[in-house]
Chains A and B, each alone.
Chain A
Amino acid sequence: MAEPQRARPKPTPETQHFWDGTKAGELRLQRCDACAHVYFPPRPFCPSCASRKVSIFKASGKGFLYSYVINHRPAAPGFTPPYAIAVVELDEGPRMMSNIIDCPQTPEALELDMKLEVAFQELDDKITLPVFRPAKG
Chain B
Amino acid sequence: MRKNQVAVVGAAETTELGVITNASQLQLHADAALNAIADAGLKLSDIDGFATAVETPQQVCHYLGIKPTWVDGTSVGGCSFMLHVRHAAAAIEAGLCKTVLITHAESGKSMIGKLPRSTPADSLNGQFEAPYGVYGPPSMFPIPVLRFMKTYGITHEQLASVAVVQREWAAKNPRAMMKEPITVNDVLNSRMIAYPFRLLQCCLVTDGGGALILTSADRARDFPRKPVYIMGTGESVETPMVSQMETFNSSRAFKTAGPLAFKEAGIAHGDVDHLMIYDAFAHLPLFGLGDLGFMPYEETGQFIADGNTRPGGKLPLNTNGGGLSYMHSGMYGMYALQESVRQMRGIAPAQVPNAKISVCHGVGGMFAASGTIVFTNER
Which bracket fits the contact residues of B? 35 or more
Q: Is the interface of A mostly helix, strand, loop or mixed?
A: loop
Asked whether, in the complex, the Cβ of A41 is within 8 Å of the Cβ of B244, the reply is yes
Bound CA–CA A83/B134 (angstroms): 10
> B195 near A: Cβ within 8 Å?
yes
**At the interface, is chain B mostly helix, strand, loop or mixed?**
mixed
B194 / chain A contacts, CB cutoff of 8 Å: 69-72, 85
**B147 contacts A by Cβ under 8 Å:** yes
What residue of chain B has the Cβ atom nearest to residue A70's Cβ?
B195
Could you tell me which A residues sit within 8 Å of B by CB distance?
Answer: 6-12, 15, 40-41, 66-79, 82-83, 85-87, 95-99, 107, 112, 123, 129
Mask of B109-153 contacts with A, CB within 8 angstroms, 1/0: 000000000011110101111111111101110111111001000
Given the complex of chains A and B, what is the CA–CA distance between A123 and B142 in angstroms? 27
Which residue of chain A lies nearest to B134 when distances are taken between CB atoms in the complex?
Answer: A85
Question: 18 A-B residue contacts at CB 8 Å?
Answer: A6-B131, A6-B133, A7-B131, A9-B121, A11-B127, A66-B248, A67-B147, A69-B139, A69-B195, A72-B191, A74-B139, A76-B130, A77-B135, A85-B194, A87-B143, A97-B242, A99-B132, A123-B131
Contact B126 A9 (CB under 8 A): yes
- Using A97-B134, A97-B243 as known contacts, say yes or no to A71 and B139 having CB atoms under 8 A apart: yes
Tell me which residues across on chain A come within 8 A of B124, comparing CB atoms.
15, 41
Given the interface pairs A69-B142, A69-B195, the reply to whether A9 lies near B136 with Cβ below 8 Å is no
Give me 11 other A-B pairs in contact (C-beta within 8 A), A12-B127, A71-B138, A112-B146 excluded.
A7-B131, A9-B126, A9-B130, A15-B127, A71-B134, A73-B191, A87-B243, A97-B128, A97-B242, A99-B133, A107-B195
A41-B248 in contact given A75-B133, A76-B135 (Cβ < 8 Å):
no
Query: Is B197 an interface residue, CB under 8 A from the partner?
Result: yes
Counting chain A CB atoms within 10 Å of each CB, the highest count among B150, B197, B243 belongs to B243
8 Å CB contact of B128 from A41, A76, A78, A99: A41
Question: Closest 6 CB pairs between A and B?
Answer: A76-B135, A67-B147, A7-B130, A9-B127, A70-B195, A10-B121
- In the bound complex, what is the Cα–Cα distance between A107 and B197 (angstroms)? 12
Q: Are A74 and B122 CB-contacts (below 8 A) given A67-B248, A95-B243, A95-B244?
A: no
**CA separation between A99 and B124, bound complex, in Å?**
17
CB of B193 within 8 Å of the partner chain = yes
Whether B296 sits at the interface, judged by CB under 8 Å, is no
Q: Which residues of A contact B135 (CB under 8 A)?
A: 71, 74-77, 79
**Residue among A9, A15, A96 having the largest count of chain B Cβ atoms under 10 Å:** A9
A15 to B128, CA, bound (A): 10
State whether A10 touches B126 (Cβ < 8 A): yes
CA distance A97 to B143 in the complex (A): 10
In the complex, the chain B residue whose C-beta lies closest to that of A88 is B243
Task: Look across to chain B and name the residue whose beta carbon is closest to the beta carbon of A12.
Answer: B122
Query: What's the least CB distance linking B148 to chain A, in Å?
Result: 8
Residues of A within 8 A of B242 (CB): 87, 97
Residue on A with the closest CB to B144?
Answer: A67
Chain B residue contacts of A68, Cβ below 8 A: 143, 146
CB distance from A79 to the nearest CB of B (A): 4
Bound CA span A24–B276, Å:
50
Nearest chain B CB to A44's CB is how many angstroms away?
14
> In the assembly, what is the distance between CA of A79 and CA of B134, in Å?
10
Contacts A74-B135, A74-B136; A9 near B128 (Cβ below 8 A): yes
| Chain A hits for B127, CB < 8 A | 9-12, 15, 41
* Bound Cα distance from A73 to B198, whole angstroms: 10
Chain A residues whose C-beta falls within 8 Å of the C-beta of B147 in the assembled complex: 66-67, 112
Q: Which residues in A have their C-beta under 8 angstroms from that of B122?
A: 9-12
Interface residue B192 (Cβ < 8 Å from any Cβ of A): yes
Complex-state Cα separation, A96 to B142, whole angstroms:
16
B224 interface residue (CB < 8 Å to A):
no
* CA–CA, A12 and B125, complex, Å: 12
Query: Given the complex of chains A and B, what is the CA–CA distance between A40 and B235 in angstroms?
Result: 25
Cβ contacts under 8 Å, B313 to chain A: none
